[in-house]
């Protein structure tokens, strides 16, 4: 593993460093955009280079990730295998120029190292045919997909959260947390529509990774649950945002919450792998998310749920990670996005299952992205766990649909040990309830439990 620098030896310690704070990078990017464009953050285009971090993502050709290509470029390279169970501590990378993620065949290059070697670019670039590297592309910011509305609303809200936190004002109120319709006694509408209460399966023995803003590790309704947690953003796993706790609640929450609380969790006996890849502002980056994916695959999580994204084109690093997951018997499931536009990354990757949102009447949600959609679930006004002291709340978005599919996937995985990777993907599609809408809006239809 690359050592921490003890003197000024040229290591990258700025905003483009591998261990740089993602919130600080976001604020700097927003300020740069406003200075260069002379306008406000609301005028930033979703395809603007402002949404790139300055770091680069390297995708290797199959089987070539260990060939030493980055070392041959003079880069000091850290390896995820040097960390316990593959959980990279991004803030412990020291003076490393690059981070290798061997499970998925991808590496992250710091801003300085990329700049010094003229690797920076507004678009993906291919290398010579004899190079072990397939593509080098910019790293993008990514955001939690819980807020229905335009993509940049997430960008701006994240910046507002960071600024408020720095000033000690607390995070701005998310109006979606305060809304929601009446609940059906016994179970939430999303679970009922997906036929979860009728299923005899519990997810026992299945590892489910949720890569998000973390988890309220002291939430009383998860006491005693098998749980493994790691952070990839330099912050404690404890969820100060609420998005991750809500998604984990839907995918893996309890069978019978206390009091009058309806059942909101699906795979209630699964082993939960909590990967904090988004900060407490809901902000992340491609490299940190890929590090979380690498960890989940290295730990053989059969289901990997990702309610996050960026309104960009296909990112090759995510495609490689999805393919590596399928080859290892893991299935990555991602939210399509809430921009009422084309499916964003990583869900637009052909190797990652894309989930659209439905309203409670099983019609496509107005905000839900379209195009590359594989399956759908209820995502509007979803009741689930949130951090204490509130404990429960409503949220809306494709983020809320995604963990419905992940939880159901865990139930299917429990039914047969051969239902892993692509076989699990195909079973989810084959068992989905058809809906009278285009596949570009709902995919194969509404996910159904075994």
Specify whether the CB–CB gap between 332 and 363 falls below 8 A: no
Instruction: Report residue 223 as tokens.
Output: 């006491």
Specify whether the CB–CB gap between 241 and 144 falls below 8 A: yes
Judge whether residue 5 has pLDDT over 60: no
Instruction: Report residue 279 as tokens.
Output: 């900060």
Instruction: Please compute, for residue 398, the number of CA atoms within 13 A of its CA located in the half-sphere on the CB side.
Output: 40
Please pick, among 97, 147, 174, 243, the residue that the annotation labels catalytic: 243
CB within 8 Å of 9: residues ≥ 6 apart? 95
Judge whether residue 3 has pLDDT over 90: no
Q: What is the pTM of this model?
A: 0.90
Please pick, among 23, 212, 239, 381, the residue that the annotation labels catalytic: 212
Judge whether residue 157 has pLDDT over 60: no
Burial zone of 165 (CB within 10 Å; 0-12 exposed, 13-18 middle, 19+ buried): middle
Helix (H, G, I), strand (E, B) or coil at 395: strand
Instruction: List pLDDT tens digits, range 214-254.
Output: 999 999 999 999 999 999 999 999 999 999 999 999 999 99
- DSSP secondary structure string, 289-325? HHHHHHHHHHTT-SEEEE-EEBSSS--HHHHHHHHHH
pLDDT of residue 354: 98
Instruction: Please compute, for residue 343, the number of CA atoms within 13 A of its CA located in the half-sphere on the CB side.
Output: 31
pLDDT of residue 163: 58
Please pick, among 305, 354, 365, 399, the residue that the annotation labels catalytic: 399
Concerning whether 67 is annotated as a catalytic residue, the answer is no
Concerning whether 165 is annotated as a catalytic residue, the answer is no
Widest CA span of the chain, in angstroms? 64
d(CA 242, CA 229): 16
Concerning whether 268 is annotated as a catalytic residue, the answer is no
Q: 125 falls in which pLDDT band (50, 70, 90)?
A: low
pLDDT of residue 217: 98
Domain extent listing, the chain: 22-140, 174-442
Instruction: Report residue 323 as tokens.
Output: 């393919």
d(CA 274, CA 285): 17
Angle at 315 between CA 296 and CA 43, to 5 degrees: 115
Specify whether the CB–CB gap between 387 and 240 falls below 8 A: yes
From 43-52, 95-104, 148-157, the region with the lowest mean pLDDT: 148-157
Secondary element (H or E) of residue 428: helix 422-431
Specify whether the CB–CB gap between 216 and 388 falls below 8 A: yes
CB within 8 Å of 371: residues ≥ 6 apart? 342, 343, 348, 440
**What's the mean pLDDT in 57-79?**
91
In the 8-state DSSP scheme, what is residue 332?
E
Instruction: Report residue 6 as tokens.
Output: 């003890």
- CA dihedral of residues 163, 169, 173, 178 (deg, nearest 10): 160
Instruction: List pLDDT tens digits, range 329-386.
Output: 999 999 999 999 999 999 999 999 999 999 999 999 999 999 999 999 999 999 999 9
**How much of the chain is helix, strand and coil, in % rounded to 5?**
30, 20, 50
Query: Could you give the residue ranges of the DSSP H alpha helices within 38-110?
Result: 69-72
- For residue 126, how many other CB atoms are within 10 A of its CB? 12
Q: In degrees rounded to 5, what are phi and psi of residue 402?
A: -55, -50
In the 8-state DSSP scheme, what is residue 80?
G
pLDDT of residue 33: 75
Instruction: Write the CA distances from 48 to 14, 90, 160, 244, 411, integer angstroms.
Output: 22, 26, 19, 27, 41
**What's the mean pLDDT in 171-199?**
71
CATH number for 174-442 (one of 3.40.50.200, 2.102.10.10, 3.40.50.720, 1.25.40.10): it is 3.40.50.200
d(CA 101, CA 59): 10
């Amino acid at each position: 593993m690359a050592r921490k620098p003890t003197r000024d030896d040229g290591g990258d310690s700025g905003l483009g460093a591998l261990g740089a704070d993602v919130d600080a990078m976001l604020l700097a990017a927003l300020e740069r955009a406003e200075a260069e464009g002379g306008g406000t953050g609301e005028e930033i285009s979703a395809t603007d280079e402002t949404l790139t971090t300055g770091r680069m993502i390297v995708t290797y050709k199959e089987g070539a990730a260990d060939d030493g290509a980055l070392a041959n470029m003079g880069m000091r390279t850290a390896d995820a295998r040097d960390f316990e169970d593959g959980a990279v501590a991004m803030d412990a990378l020291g003076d490393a120029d690059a981070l290798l993620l061997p499970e998925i065949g991808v590496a992250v290059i710091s801003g300085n190292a990329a700049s010094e070697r003229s690797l920076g670019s507004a678009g993906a670039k291919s290398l010579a045919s004899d190079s072990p590297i397939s593509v080098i592309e910019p790293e993008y910011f990514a955001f939690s997909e819980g807020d229905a509305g335009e993509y940049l609303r997430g960008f701006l809200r994240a910046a507002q959260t960071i600024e408020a936190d720095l000033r000690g004002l607390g995070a701005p109120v998310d109006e979606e947390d305060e809304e929601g319709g009446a609940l059906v006694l016994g179970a939430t509408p999303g679970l009922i529509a997906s036929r979860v209460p009728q299923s005899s399966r519990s997810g026992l023995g299945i590892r489910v990774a949720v890569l998000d803003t973390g988890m309220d590790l002291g939430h009383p309704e998860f006491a005693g649950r098998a749980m493994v947690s790691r952070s990839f953003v330099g912050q404690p796993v404890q969820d100060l945002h609420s998005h991750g706790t809500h998604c984990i609640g839907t995918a893996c929450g309890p069978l019978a919450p206390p009091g009058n609380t309806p059942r909101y969790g699906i795979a209630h006996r699964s082993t939960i792998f909590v990967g904090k890849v988004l900060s407490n502002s809901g902000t992340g980056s491609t490299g940190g998310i890929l590090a979380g994916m690498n960890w989940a695959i290295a730990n053989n999580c059969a289901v990997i749920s990702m309610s996050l994204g960026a309104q960009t084109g296909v990112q090759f690093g995510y495609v490689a990670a999805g393919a590596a997951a399928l080859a290892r018997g893991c299935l990555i499931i991602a939210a399509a996005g809430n921009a009422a536009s084309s499916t964003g990354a990583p869900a637009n990757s052909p190797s990652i299952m894309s989930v659209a949102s439905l309203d409670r009447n099983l019609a496509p949600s107005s905000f839900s992205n379209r195009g590359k959609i594989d399956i759908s679930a209820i995502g509007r006004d979803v009741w689930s766990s949130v951090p204490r002291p509130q404990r429960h709340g409503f949220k809306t978005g494709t983020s809320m649909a995604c963990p419905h599919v992940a939880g159901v996937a865990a139930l299917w995985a429990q039914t047969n040990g051969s239902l892993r990777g692509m076989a699990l993907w195909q079973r989810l599609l084959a068992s989905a309830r058809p809906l009278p809408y285009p596949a570009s809006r709902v995919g194969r239809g509404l996910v159904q439990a075994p």
